[in-house]
Structure 1
Amino acid sequence: MQTGYESNPTDPIDKMRVLDIKPMRTLKPIFPSQTGASPQSAPFTCVPPMGPFPPGVAPFYPFAFANQSQGASDFENAIPSPVPLNSFRTPQSQYSNGGAGSSKRGRGRPRKDKTGQANFDNSQIVVDDVEDFSNGRKQGGSSQKRAKGPTNLFSVEVNIDDTVNQILRAFKLSGLEPFQQAEGNRDLVGRIILTYNLLRRRVFQISEAKEDDEGGDVRPDLKASSTILTNGVKTNSQKRIGAVPGIEVGDIFFFRLEMCIVGMHAPTMAGIDYLNVKASADDEPLAVSVVSSGAYEDDGEDGDVLIYSGHGGVKKGEMCDQKLVRGNLALEKSLHRANVVRVIRGVKDVMSGTGKIYVYDGLYKIHESWAEKGKGGFNVFKYKFVRVPGQPEAFTLWKSIEQWKAGSGTRIGVILPDLTSGVETLPVSLVNDVDDEKGPSYFTYTSTLRYDKPFDLPIPSPNCSCRGGCQPGDANCPCVQRNGGFLPYNPLGVVLNYKALIHECGPSCLCPPNCRNRMSQAGLKVRLEVFRTKDKGWGLRSWDPIRSGLFICEYAGDVIDTSSAMELGSEHEDFIFDATRMYAPIDYNSDGSPEVPYPLVISSKNSGNVARFMNHSCSPNVFWQPVLRENGDKTYLHVAFFSIGHIPPMQELTFNYGIPKSDKAEQRKKTCLCGSLDCKGYFY
């Protein structure tokens, strides 16, 4: 086994030497002290979902945000991104798969850093689920060589530990009492998982831009989880039987560590989680949750029944009979006690290729158990789980969607199989299973903005000549440098940092269409559906699961003159996107108005795309981000939509419409039917 340490078998062994070896569980990552660190404020000229914020108050949009006008901060740069699987792959280190790391397993031995302190050897950490963004090999390549030394922005301006502490403060998860004592709720669980993902993606972006320098092999997933746990950012720490506060049936997780930090399933590897209860004079183990992800011979084809295989059966690398101990014994005791057990199903993450998505399928009871010969000829314990009736659909919905995609199942209420008539790379169904409405009013489907006249640039912008695609940290690429020295997206198309603006490659750039810096130009990343809601007209949702930060679509239509926008008739009112609207904060005393670089107003009345069907919500799951594409002395401003957190299939996609900057704003008030706990009762 490769351990990361060099050895010389010819050296004599000192058998008298006493070694001080600690168990793995006693080791903790050591991070530089942050004493005296003080984050700076940052310029902010748009509607990003988070920061920068004033000291002490920095909640994530849509919870609240505030404007800053001066200063500079690393915290501007923080979030994820999706891209077609056949897209150009940026050269990456073996640990740069989107912050997920290698899928190799090891024993997590400590190593010494330059200070002599023990730290984790990331290549040896045990990890059982990762995001697979590419094969990790260098391919393609830029037409320029990446600059090294002092031109590397990572080593000069960006510090990972400062960045993660800024994010923790922004989410109000730093300087407070540890969350281990708190019982979770929907808001807290969402913030903790989102914080973990922001940390992971930002660390990946910084690490990716640091080629061949010390620390370039940082494992973003492990760095993020270590930081989260070290700072006490965890909830529902007390194990419990039954539902977990703040987590609903159908919720999805892209990392097992996400389940761990919110109390859904504590083990990062084991499939059975259990607690000990007092039974007569002895403690008795009872199962609280199981993860069925394909590691064992489970049978999960039936949506309401799971035949779960016990754990174990391997000793010193050899197959053997499973024993009725630990998790297996807990399942047996739960059978006799008839307590409910949480079931999490692992399904293949089609977008990443090899990763897993974990779906909370609700509460089950164990109805029977037995032992049988497994494929290797040894005894395996089997447990029959049956789903408790009356719960919302989860895994059965995923199976139905698979059938719709394969054409073997019927989607009820389909009006059109593809609303776009082939304009988009993926079809968009038009569905109504609510009433007799036959479809929205006529419009021409277009996938992008239509400009009569682009905006002028005071200074012509240079185009890039990266014929193999833009590379992270390339000091010679003007597009990368306009983004602060980083690529804004990961290879899956998740936006990696929240900045005032994203600068994508423009029409005159020589990079290919599948360059990672053309993410919003590559079309839809998920299979969407326009559907009839019960009380809000038409809405938008996805057949596919959407990971946090994923690009969904841009807002397409006709760019209109701002001076004439208010003069449009009432029939246009529901199809106007105004980038200059204000977004009122919740926790900070500021007008919270976005300041985009150009006054962009879009009408999707006559031509548009799926974005025109997105409804308002006071607690949205989608946010918009300004994207600039420059071409010589002209620039084109676009509006791209990204997911805030993970979004399960068939959940409506919504964003906050904001408040118009107009004296007639009050006249445009409409009753809000978003149904969220934070609903204001109206929107504009």
Structure 2
Amino acid sequence: METPNASSENVGLDVKPLRTLSPMFPSTYGINSVSQSNAHPFIYISPSEHSSFPPFAAPNQPVHSTPIHATPISNGPRPNLYSNGTPTFYSPSIDLLDEEDEEVLPSAQTSAFGRKIKKPSHLGGYQVGSNSVTDGSTSTPVKTPQKKKPKKVQKIDSGLVPSLLDPRDSVEIVLMTFDALRRRLSQLEDGKEGKNSRPDLTAANTLMTNDLRANRGKRIGSVPGVEIGDIFYFRMELCIVGLHAPSMAGIDYMSAQFNDGDDTVAVSVVSAGGYENEETDTESLIYSGQGGNANIDQKLVRGNLALERSLHRGNTVRVIRSVGDYTTTNGKIYFYDGLYKVQSSWVEKGKSGFNVFKFKLLREPEQSPGLAIWKMTQQWKDIPASRGRMILPDLSSGAENLPVCLVNEVDDEKGPSHFRYSTKVAYLRPLNSMKPLEICRCASVCLPGDVNCTCAKLNDGDLPYSSSGALVSRKPLIYECNASCCCSSNCRNRVTQKGVRIQFEVFKTRDRGWGLRSWDPIRAGTFICEYTGEVINKINLEVDNAEDDHYIFQTIGVDEKAFKWNYGPELLGDPSADYSSENLGPLPIIISARHMGNISRFMNHSCSPNVFWQPILYDHGDEGYPHIMFFAMKHIPPLTELTYDYGMSNGAGSRMTRKCLCGSPKCRGLFG
């Protein structure tokens, strides 16, 4: 259906054509910085407390699919930006709020980075480094803000700093560190009166204070290290990876000089459900302009004007969509849907009866699917029979809490070799002959901060899981409450023993046999499954040689990256935990899932895994033979293969070394 425009007789609004209205673009809050259009993502550690800003790296890597000939609009003298033939853009570090979003925040609230958010003038924004506020026609003197003394930057573990040559690694470590800090802050606040209800803001502030961030500077087009389909549980995650700078505003924009003059264009939009957007189509988005929440007409200013300018300039705009999720605090998950272009714009009356700007954005062709994946998996969950190329609707035959679909979209193979599905581990001796665990006497449930809880004491004084059931940090061994404890089954310290809570499918890969993936998004720290099978001893393993057994689990090496998943205690002023392969030797437990097992037997190896294993005890106290539980190392989008690092060992009785086909940029070439 043809989209109406501003002059349509059906609209009947007395409005001027969009391009005849006076622009109103405030400079964003923050500090001016210049980033080349092909700027490389990085994490920077200030070398001293007197160094406030990092240098900007600029490897040769294009960032937008369509050439945009633009240079920055700067407050000062402009250097020779075309000396190397590459345009550069002006941009601030991070935006706070646009005027129209001020009403969302309480008057006393601070920004994510510790600044008080003051109500801006209705005439426009503050010019950084200038002494005026402007709406395009008037000028009012204001006090020039004074520079503040830089905060002292703490010494950071060098293990938190990724290689500057790998943008994906940079983004992943920033997100991993952010979420680890957020989980730890939540754990520290649990049980306190007047606790911090926004640990995500505190975590982001901590990263910014320590100059830990990827992709400084705004850019048109793709963001290095961020892939289509990547998921985010907090708006601040979009900010710290450079995908969308405003912490609340839905439209991000930047100033640039094009061949025919200066202009300000949109670089990204977030469709979060707060406005009357139309987003059912996987290849287009009808985006409502910002402002007008207080029952007034929207104005062609700031983000609205930037989107209209993008229509005129034809630049690509990053689109971040959201989907509902009842497990999250705000009820939604954000995901990057790819590059779009503004096709048309118009004005219409919204449900409130006031004028609303509308923008139609079309998705650029030949991109990986974004919203289409979410719609497809949701349909499968609603109607499992709609899953194409299905072999079995439930591989577990009802043994799991949710059915495990078996599919093959590669060839005609009808399934994996025969095995007995089991959700339990078969030990060499009965459980009742093993050392018992200590018990807690907590009434109803174990509470955070309870100094009398025996199970908390076993876990170094803290309950290991958040209120949502996410693992806070990896440890050498975790103790869950057991059957003899006085607390109920609803206790937060009983996570893994309740079984799988995610809808999985076993699928045929192209070159690595069968694999495992999920129809659901998986949040970092979420319990995946247990590695089940038959516990065997080392003697039997050596006798059988096990060279043809592809289903052996051994703790032959500690995945160093799994311990880097922890919260980086030095960022919070805590002593670093000394967890490494040097002081954590291999456990004696060896599990074979060749003849019996569960979905874990289908998890393939990767040198860049998204899952890690964690030893846990809950039904016996023999620390050498714990349950091997798997947790998500990072946020995992739907239909992403789940993998963990099998490790490397050439010792006798271990798995045979095999060639690795994981395809990771950091592939070791071998595993086992």
Q: Give 2:280's aligned residue.
A: 301
- Residue 199 of structure 1 and its aligned partner are, at CA, apart by 0.8
User: 1:361–1:394: 8 Å Cα contact kept in structure 2?
Assistant: yes
Tell me if the contact between 1:250 and 1:360 (Cα under 8 Å) persists in the aligned partners: yes
Cα deviation for residue 579 of structure 1 reads: 2.3
**Paired residues, what number?**
534
Give 2:22's aligned residue.
Answer: none
Matched, 1:643 2:632: yes
Match of 1:169 among 154, 157, 166: 157
| Structure-2 separation of matches of 1:240 and 1:614 | 37
> TM-score scaled to structure 1, two decimals?
0.71
Q: What letter is aligned with 2:593?
A: S
Deviation digits for residues 580-629 of structure 1 (CA, Å, limit 9, x no counterpart): 446589999x9936746851111111211100000011111111011122
Amino acid paired to 1:680: R
Aligned residue in 1 for 2:234: 255
Shift of 1:394: 1.1
1:477 aligns with 453
Alignment CA distance shift 1:459-1:170 (3 Å): farther
Q: Which residue of 1 aligns with 2:393?
A: 417
Alpha-carbon spacing, 1:420–1:516, altered in 2? closer, same or farther (3 Å): same
Indicate if the aligned counterparts of 1:540 and 1:613 stay in contact, CA closer than 8 A.
Answer: yes
CA contact (8 A) 1:328 1:381 kept: yes
- Report the alpha carbon displacement of residue 572 of structure 1 after superposing the two structures with TM: 5.8
What secondary structure does 2:446 align onto?
coil
Aligned residue in 1 for 2:589: 600
What corresponds to 1:245 in structure 2?
224
Q: Relative contact order, CA 8 A, sep 6+: which one is greater?
A: 1
In structure 2, distance between residues paired with 1:172 and 1:530: 34
The residue aligned with 1:675 is: 663
Q: Percent identity, aligned pairs only?
A: 48
| Correspondence for 2:607 | 618
**Cα distance in 1, alignment partners of residues 464 and 434 from structure 2:** 24
- Please tell me the residue identity of whatever aligns with 1:647: I
Cα deviation code 1:14-60 (max 9, x no counterpart): xxxxxxxxxx9689xxxxxxxxxxxxxxxxxxxxxxxxxxxxxxxxx
Alignment correspondent of 2:107: 107
Report the alpha carbon displacement of residue 421 of structure 1 after superposing the two structures with TM.
Answer: 1.0
In the alignment, is the contact (CA less than 8 A) between 2:178 and 2:207 conserved in 1? yes
Partners in 2 of 1:354 and 1:228 — Cα distance? 22
- 1:426-462 deviation digits (Å, cap 9, x = unpaired): 1111010101110111111111212232689998643
Q: 1:287 is matched by which residue type in structure 2?
A: A
Distance 1:537 1:508 in 2: 42
For residues 15-94 of structure 1, what are the structure 2 equivalents within 5 Å?
A: none
Mapping of residues 26-425 of structure 1, within 5 Å: 105-109=105-109, 168-169=156-157, 171-173=159-161, 185-209=167-191, 211-212=192-193, 216-217=195-196, 219-278=198-257, 283-314=262-293, 318-352=294-328, 354-407=330-383, 410-425=386-401
Structure 1 unaligned regions, length at least 5: 1-23, 28-102, 112-117, 126-160
Aligned residues of 1:183 and 1:236 also touching (Cα < 8 A): no
Moved more, 608-617 or 484-493: 484-493
Contact 2:476-2:584 within 8 A present in 1 as well: no
SS for the counterpart of 1:418 is coil
- 1:187 maps to a residue whose letter is D
In the alignment, what sits opposite 2:472? 496
What is the CA distance between 1:268 and its match in structure 2? 0.6
Amino acid of the structure 2 residue aligned with 1:203: L
From 531, 542, 553, the counterpart of 2:518: 542
Distance 1:543-1:594 versus aligned 2 partners, 3 A rule: farther
Query: What amino acid is the match of 2:228?
Result: V
User: Distance between the aligned counterparts of 1:353 and 1:436, measured in 2?
Assistant: 44
CA RMSD of aligned residues (A): 3.8
Change (3 A) 1:555 1:331: same
The question of whether the paired residues in 2 share the 8 Å contact of 1:629 and 1:636 is answered with no
In structure 2, the gaps of 5 or more residues are 1-27, 32-102, 120-150, 565-578
Asked if 2 retains the 8 angstrom alpha-carbon contact of 1:455 and 1:598, the reply is no
> Is contact 2:401–2:500 with CA below 8 Å preserved after alignment?
yes
Q: Distance in 2 between matches of 1:503 and 1:423?
A: 25
> Could you tell me whether the CA contact under 8 Å between 1:508 and 1:632 is conserved in 2?
no
2:418 counterpart (442, 446, 453): 442
Distance 1:280 1:538 in 2: 53
Residue identity matched to 2:176: L
Tell me the distance in 2 between the aligned counterparts of 1:26 and 1:659. Answer: 47
Distance verdict in 2 for CA 1:110–1:417, change over 3 Å: closer
The verdict on how the C-alpha distance between 1:668 and 1:184 changes in structure 2, with shifts beyond 3 A counting, is: closer
TM-score between the two structures when normalised by the length of structure 2: 0.72
Give, in angstroms, the shift of residue 368 of structure 1.
0.8
User: 415-424 vs 458-467, which deviates more?
Assistant: 458-467
- Return the alpha-carbon distance in structure 1 between the equivalents of residues 358 and 395 of structure 2: 47
My pick for the range that moved more, 284-293 or 402-411, is 402-411
Contact 1:553 1:642 in 2 (8 A): yes
Separation in structure 2 between the aligned mates of residue 345 and residue 474 of structure 1, nearest angstrom: 41
Cα separation, partners in 2 of 1:109 and 1:457, compared to 1, 3 Å:
farther
| 2:489 aligns with one of 513, 521, 528 | 513
- Output the amino acid matched with 1:189: V
Deviation at 1:659, TM superposition (A): 2.4
**CA, structure 1 residues 503+587, in 2 after alignment: closer, same or farther (shift >3 Å)?**
closer
2-structure distance, mates of 1:360, 1:190: 15
Q: Letter of the 2:183 partner, please give it.
A: R
